Amino acid sequence: MTKYEGSPNEEARRASIDALRTSDFVIPSSFDIRPSSFSLQGHLNLVCGLDSLGRSSLRRQSFRAPMHISKPHLDGNTIVVNVINPTAGLLAGDVIRSDIHVEDRARLLLTSPSANRAHRMPSGLAQVEQYFHVTQGAWLENWPELFIPQAGTRYRQQTTLRVEPGGTAMLWELLAPGRVASGEIFAFAELEWTTKVFFGERLVAKERYRLAPGEPSIETLRQQFPAAYYASGFIFSPALRESSGVWREIHDLHTEHTWIGCSALACGGWSLRVLAADSIRLRKTLSRIREMLYGALSEPVPALRRVAF
């Protein structure tokens, strides 16, 4: 485990985080976490701020298996952090808690170099809890790779995003229907995803979906594409308006093989949804959307991987 201590304000920030993690955020489930001697209780805690030269840097980092980060590097004025799971993937009983905080004028791109996998779980489940806080003047993009639930996977994910007015955030999630090449399509046992989005103190979005074979949620996806790939995003920026031309450009990417939905939230943000017939179409569409958003913000697009020279 690597750990660097933060500022004297850390306790106050922690108190605000704990206040968001209230009991009503726990989802009743038909299965429970059953830690075993083989399960891992991991975490990833990052505080991104400015160093003495005014560059974005990790002022604090702490992680424990199965979480690990590569050596952070700068792409322009954005610090890029690749989050790695060096194990084979998530197993029953694994619990991961992430706490990501970006301070004023700091810019963080959080991504991963490969797909995230979860294995068969005859009993119990794996759980991931994520908290993202973007302060005024800060910039965060969270771009994970595909989550691939294998046959028999039981998985619960809870995400909280808080963006202060004046902050910029792009939070993405990518979901595969399973190991398609192995014939595992929607063969997982159960997935539960819950997301809360705050703009300042105001709750502007709260969504929860449960996917399980044979249920209407899965059948709806199958009706559109037999092996549907799905992505969702929440976008916040003081530089974007509902009248911005980028939303029409994104809407025009809609095709018979890639469905796109985009809607404004009640206060200062947008929700995007992409449903694609395969992974290639999903990746190409998301890459184009990403380019469009950065273009609308008049910002260079930071690379998801370190560029070799």
In this predicted model, what pLDDT tens digit does every residue of 36-46 receive, in sequence order? Answer: 556 899 999 99
Amino acid (one-letter) located at 132: F
pLDDT for 14 equals 44
Residue 282 domain-assigned?
yes
Q: pLDDT, tens digit, for every residue of 248-282?
A: 999 999 999 999 999 999 888 999 999 999 999 99
Please indicate, yes or no, if residue 98 is contained in any of the structural domains. Answer: yes
pLDDT at 215: 85
Note the pLDDT of residue 217: 84
Note the pTM of the prediction, 2 decimals: 0.87
- Please check whether residue 28 lies inside any domain of the structure: no
In a domain, 8, yes or no: no
For the chain, which residues score pLDDT lower than 70? 1-38, 307-309
Give the residue numbers spanning the domain of 142: 41-296
Domain membership flag for residue 125: yes
* pLDDT given for residue 1 in this prediction: 37
| Residue 264 confidence (pLDDT) | 93
What's the domain count of the chain? 1
pLDDT of residue 36: 53
Q: Which residues contact 114 (CB under 8 A, 6 or more apart)?
A: 84, 145
pLDDT of residue 79: 98
Please indicate, yes or no, if residue 19 is contained in any of the structural domains: no
Question: 233 lies in a domain?
Answer: yes
pLDDT value of residue 237: 96
Helix, strand, coil share (%) of the chain residues, nearest 5: 15, 40, 45
35 within a domain of the structure (yes/no)? no
pLDDT tens, residue by residue, 293-306: 999 999 999 999 87
pLDDT at 47: 98
